[in-house]
Structure 1
Amino acid sequence: MKLKYFVLLMFTGLLNLNAQDYYFPEVNANWAQKSPQSFKINETQLKNAVDFAKANEYSGSRDLRIAILKGFEKEPFHQILGPTRKRGGPAGMILKNGYVVAQWGDTKRVDMTFSVTKSFLSTMAGLAEDVGLLSNTNDMVGNYIWDDTFKGAHNSKITWEHLLQQNSAWSGELWGGKDWADRPPSEGDIDDWKFAAPKEPGTVMEYNDVRVNVLAYSLTQLWRKPMPMVLKDKIMDKIGASSTWRWYGYDHAWTEIDGLQMKSVTGGGHSGAGIFINTEDLARFGLLFLNDGKWKNEQLISSSWIKKATTPSTPNSNYGYMWWLNKKGDRHWDGLSENIYYAAGFGGNFIVIDKEHDLVVVTRWLEPNKIGEFMTKVNAAFK
């Protein structure tokens, strides 16, 4: 019996000795690099992937105000309501076990990140659940928010999960944005969209920034403080992010809580605003998720939340709690692991988490329809 126990201890010890610890960059320090060969990564194949990213820049204008107005020109009443910024060129980082094995472009330049913001917003809900502000994502949001946002026969049925999975079908207007006018169908009369009965919550995913901004507003009410403050205190400062990132709302999106005026932020840059951030800070955020919510020895976001956030929703197998999932479906990257998940934003901004390869990939201003091909090239370097 003692011999078996001794053998078990030896085996466990060997496993621990062979376990690869992640590297976490310090605050304001140069990010440690390692050669691809040190991880048995094919350097030629990895360079091919990087060259592909640099050669396939997003085709829209570098003046993002112009790109936004052009990209959403079919929407009635669409206009710029928050800050925008001219962007830089392609940039990115590839991390293996936390170490930089490839990078390109200006990784310290702050740029808009559009719907990558949604994955940060989702994390604010996760933090609320972790600290007990939110009991369960299946709770009705109207039980937490006292005003009229979730009143009525339809909106009263909406849960936090519905908002997080973008299948709430919330009906109404927020900050001048009308739910029915956001990304309307390409066919049909405007009255068909305007007067159509809202779908049952939880049944159909509809990518809709007005409803995402309803989630941001609701979380601001729940936390009783602006979301950038929560993100800074709970996540960004603790992962050693720079002081350069910002999270904006629309110019007029003010709400009063406890006698204080607070800006309600957006979950994207569809009409301007959202998170403006550099590539290295995005990579730090990705590394936190690669390590199941733990930075060094501190658990910042629970692994149970990350599991929920990366579980497919019923109406869309490729979408969780504002993270895209590489499951079988319309957005599946053929030949790549179904356990990959990622944040994605307008103009080709991506944070990709590949747990099987201990990999974080951040790429910016890549032509969006090239991301699957790019990740296939990255994956080839590991074969």
Structure 2
Amino acid sequence: MEIIRKIILFPIGTFLLATAILGCKMEKEPLEMVFPQENWVEKSPEELGVDHEKMTAALEYLASESGEDGLDEVFISIKGYCIYRGDSINKKHNIYSSSKSFTSTVLGILTDKQSLSEETFAKEIDTALAALYPDVQLKHFASMTSGYSAQGATRWDEVSEDWSWTPYAIDTPLFAPGTKYAYWDEAQMMFGRLLTIHTGRTLKSVFDDAIGRKIGLGDYGWGTEKEVNGIAINNGCTGVMINAEQLARFGHFYLNNGNWNGQQLLSKDWINKATQNQVFTDVVAETDRDNVDGRGCYGYNWWVNGVMPNGDLHMPDAPKSLYYASGLHNNMCFVIPEWDMVFVRRGEDGNPLKGKPFVYNHFFKLMGLAINN
């Protein structure tokens, strides 16, 4: 695919002619932050101070490390202006674990309403957790440090073509809350169930009323509602069915600290908590399945560019302010406050073979050359 063709280019002949006639360099006023209405305003990279050739080199590198979907569902905005869009940004599919960032946002909504908080004990919502999980708080679920485990498996069930939905059959804890880190899908599903029990509503309905409709998210899905003990539950772990443009709106909302065009929909305090490290243990739990390492670099269902136990940043060559939602098949939403940028990459083509942190660290190193040219 011709990457340069996808970058938004506009005629600048008039501007160049005027500059030549005046014999001087004309300084542009910095652009203000904007918010998309039905559509995003498009500008060329140069209008946002980005070198499009260097940006192209960065995108070519990302394409070389991606699967067959390549850059088809990539969307880039700076200050709310679209400067790059792939051919398939309106294609909707599951964003897998990037859905987790939507789930923790529901916790933020309820915290702002003082309905509960990250300090709320899980047993206060579901008394069935009191015996085995008396000290687990909602912050432990959101940071993957709860130690919660469930009977059975939660892997893909080929017979039902759905998640097996066993995480609500409570099992012995993996570890005491806060003492270890385990990226554990059962825990995230239980987290979503707790929020649903508390509100008596699905995660999607809570999110849409407070944020989704107000940022123009439009039509999207949140998996198949599963009824557990008479309660309809969205999967808190996966299942948000969305396109790249919609995911970019979610990222732009976070970039602006919960404010959308002058309306504060989620507190800046919550955004700050969710997007800074909340994992304060040096121990990754030993489990019977592959686990990822979130020590020092995991907030409330957002990955952050924090300092890991070895003293290195999660992505040492990327902006320090960077944080992101991450899902299977390279479904990513990056927010980079120091660049006023949202970067979305989506697909259904597997994760990068070299690993997401490695690939995106180098990608943003290259993007930095385009931004800081």
Q: Describe the superposition over 1:275-329 as per-residue Cα deviations: whole angstroms up to 9, x where unpaired.
A: 1110000000000000000000111111000111122121221001000011122
Question: In the superposition, relative to structure 1, how do residues 126 and 52 fare at CA in structure 2: closer, same or farther (>3 Å)?
Answer: same
Match runs of 1:201-280 below 5 Å? 201-243=177-219, 245-249=220-224, 253-256=226-229, 261-269=230-238, 274-280=239-245
User: For the Cα contact (< 8 Å) 2:98–2:325, is it kept in 1?
Assistant: yes
Which residue identity lines up with residue 298 of structure 1 in the other structure?
Q
Deviation at 1:105, TM superposition (A): 2.9
Contact 1:54/1:91 (CA < 8 Å) preserved in 2? no
Under a length normalisation based on structure 2, what TM-score does the superposition of the two structures give?
0.76
Alpha-carbon displacement from aligned partner over 1:45-64 (angstroms, at most 9, x marks no partner): 111222333343337xxxxx
Is 1:344 matched with 2:314?
no
Partner of 2:296: 317
Q: Is the 8 A contact 1:268 1:275 kept in 2?
A: no
Tell me how far 1:249 sits from its aligned partner: 4.2
Structure 2 gaps, min length 5: 1-28, 156-170, 282-294
Aligned to 1:160: 138
Assess, with a 3 A threshold, how the Cα gap between structure 1 residues 319 and 224 changes in structure 2: closer, same or farther.
Answer: same
Q: C-alpha displacement at 1:19, in angstroms? A: 7.1
Amino acid across the alignment from 2:147: A
Q: How far is 1:263 from its partner?
A: 2.5
CA distance in 1, matches of 2:70, 2:327: 15
Instruction: Give, as a single letter, the amino acid of the residue that structure 2 aligns with 1:26.
Output: Q
Match of 1:10 in 2: none
CA drift of 1:178 comes to 6.5
Q: CA deviation at 1:89?
A: 7.1
Deviation, structure 1 residue 268:
3.3
> How far off is 1:142 after superposition?
1.1
Q: Pick the aligned partner of 2:79 from 87, 92, 97.
A: 97
User: 1:126-146: CA deviations, max 9, x gaps?
Assistant: 000011211x31221212x14
Q: 1:236, CA displacement in angstroms?
A: 1.3
Secondary structure at 1:156 match in 2: coil
Residue 276 of structure 1 aligns to a residue whose secondary structure is: strand
Structure 1 133/336 Cα, relative in aligned 2: closer, same or farther at 3 Å? same
CA distance in 2, matches of 1:268, 1:209: 6
Tell me the percent identity.
27
Give, in whole Å, the separation in 2 of the partners of 1:306 and 1:38. Answer: 29
2:98 is aligned to 116
Q: Secondary structure at the match of 2:147?
A: coil
Q: CA separation in 2, counterparts of 1:321 and 1:48?
A: 33
Match of 1:284 in 2: 249
Conserved? CA contact 1:246–1:275, under 8 Å: yes
- Structure 1 contact 212–267 (Cα < 8 Å) conserved: yes
Higher relative contact order (CA 8 A, sep 6+): 1
Match of 1:21 in 2: 32
Unaligned runs of 5+ in 1: 1-17, 60-86, 180-194
The equivalent of 1:49 in structure 2 is 58
| 1:198-256 Cα shifts (integer Å, max 9, x gaps) | 3110111100111100000000011111111112221111001121x100147xx3135
Residues 1:339 and 1:226: Cα distance change in structure 2 (over 3 Å): same
Aligned to 2:120: 139
Q: Deviations over 1:158-205 (max 9, x none)?
A: 0011011010001334xx5479xxxxxxxxxxxxxxx98631101111
